[in-house]
Amino acid sequence: MTILAKQPALGSQFDEKSVHTVTEEAKGVVLNGEFSLPKEVPHNGFTTPAINSFGHSFRNYDAESERQKGVEEFYRRQHINQTYDFVKKMREHYKKLDEAEMSIWECCELLNKVVDESDPDLDEPQIQHLLQTAEAIRKDYPNEDWLHLTALIHDLGKILLLPEFGELPQWAVVGDTFPVGCAFDEANIHHKYFKGNPDFNHPAYNTKEGVYTKGCGLNNVMMSWGHDDYMYLVAKGNGSTLPSAGLFIIRYHSFYPLHKEGAYAHLMNDEDRENLKWLHVFNKYDLYSKSKVLVDVEKVKPYYQSLIQKYFPAKLKW
Ligand SMILES: [Fe+2]
Ligand SMILES: [Fe+2]
């Protein structure tokens, strides 16, 4: 890996130290364990386990009230700080892709440095989460190789937490995502904390459509900044040939208000609605494939290397 640049000047918001108590999956959303799959997408019978590797139900934050408090504090910070201007600044900075040069696989290994201590469903290194998700999908959808690779890389953007990539605070990397530039839908977790966001009272940003128009398509909507959008920018900027649905999954997999609650549907266009069907498929695996059964990395590596070669250049700019 070649590190090309020092960390960016990020402004006053970053004086606050990271809250190391929450992860991407720390949504606090109660799952009903049911996913109705769209008819057009084949359903290959993935069985949803009732409990995670700790014996708790998934995303069960009531089980540990301390963690719950950490999650709430995380969302307080996230909701206050993710403004339209902040996101614009982050996108402009990171789309330059001048942080580093490395291959996809090198990044998978680098992500191992990021351990989410607080994810209630996960205490394994990140590469295991990536491979467990990818292998579970591969088993059920053997012919969709793009989906296997999408699963492998979906969380690579979490490297933003590392010093070499700006060491962004947790609230700027993980957690549920949502559009900025229009009213914060009540389906967002801990919605009340948006009252502390300067955009909450900004007349251009606090109407249902805000700066957007109905049906404009999510591609024209700015999402709160995090690992999803960063990895999308990396994939796009390096000319990945992944299909539209793969890029959509990478970009919106943390957009729980949409894919779990159906909020913000008025901003979607036809292509988004098609891609959303695959995101629903993917999400089930992202959430439920975490387990104590470790994937043998060396054994599956050649397969994933071949997919990386098919859909990405050998070295990427990050
Ligand atoms: Fe993620
Ligand atoms: Fe994930």
The rounded Å distance from CA 209 to ligand 1 centre is 26
Count of domains forming the chain: 1
Residue 38 within a domain: no
What pLDDT score was predicted for residue 168? 95
Compute, in angstroms, the gap from residue 253 CA to the centroid of ligand 1.
Answer: 6
d(CA 125, CA 22): 15
> Per the domain annotation, does 9 fall within a domain?
no
| Spatial separation of the C-alpha atoms in residues 152 and 132, rounded to whole Å | 9
Residue 269: count other Cβ atoms within 10 Å of its Cβ: 14
Integer Cα distance of 190 and 187 in angstroms: 9
| 8 found inside a domain | no
Three-state DSSP class for residue 314: coil
Compute mean pLDDT per 10 residues along the chain, 318 residues long, and list them: 57 39 36 32 52 53 73 95 98 98 97 67 79 96 98 97 95 96 98 98 98 98 98 98 98 97 98 98 86 90 98 98
On whether residue 11 sits in a domain, the answer given is: no
Spacing of C-alpha 203 from chain mean position:
29
Residue 208 Cα to ligand 1 middle (Å): 26
- For residue 219, the CA-to-ligand 1 centroid distance in Å is 19
126 found inside a domain:
yes
Q: What is the pLDDT of residue 114?
A: 82
| Token pair of 9 as six digits | 């000047």
State whether residue 127 is helix, strand or coil. Answer: helix
Give the pLDDT confidence score for residue 197 in this predicted structure.
98
Residue 193 Cα distances to 79, 106, 180, 197, angstroms: 6, 38, 14, 8
Return the ligand number nearest the Cα of 160: 1
Provide the pLDDT for residue 29: 30
Query: In this structure, what are the phi and psi dihedrals at residue 269, rounded to the nearest 5 degrees?
Result: -115, -175
**Nearest CA among 172, 72, 51 for reference residue 120:** 51
258 inside domain: yes
* pLDDT value of position 17: 38
Tokens found for residue 316: 């990427």
Q: Which helix (H) or strand (E) holds 3?
A: strand 2-3
Q: Which residues of 139-168 are buried (b: 16+ CB within 10 A; e: fewer)?
A: ebbeebbbbbbbbbbbbbbbbbbbebbbeb
> Token pair of 269, please?
């266009």
Rg (CA), the chain: 18
Which of helix, strand or coil describes residue 316?
strand
Q: In this structure, which ligand is nearest to the CA of 174?
A: 1
In 3D space, the residue among 287, 295, 256 whose CA is nearest the CA of residue 48 turns out to be: 287
What pLDDT does 2 receive? 74
Q: Which domain holds residue 275?
A: 83-317
How many A from CA of 199 to the centre of ligand 2?
A: 29
Would you say residue 16 lies in a domain? Answer: no
Q: Which residue has the tokens 């579970």?
A: 136
Q: Which ligand is nearest to the CA of 250?
A: 1
Q: Which ligand is nearest to the CA of 176?
A: 1
Amino acid at 228: D
In a domain, 265, yes or no: yes
CA of 253 to the centre of ligand 2 (A): 8
Question: H or E stretch including 317?
Answer: strand 316-317
Q: Any idea what the Cα angle at residue 131 is, between residues 128 and 133, rounded to 5°?
A: 105
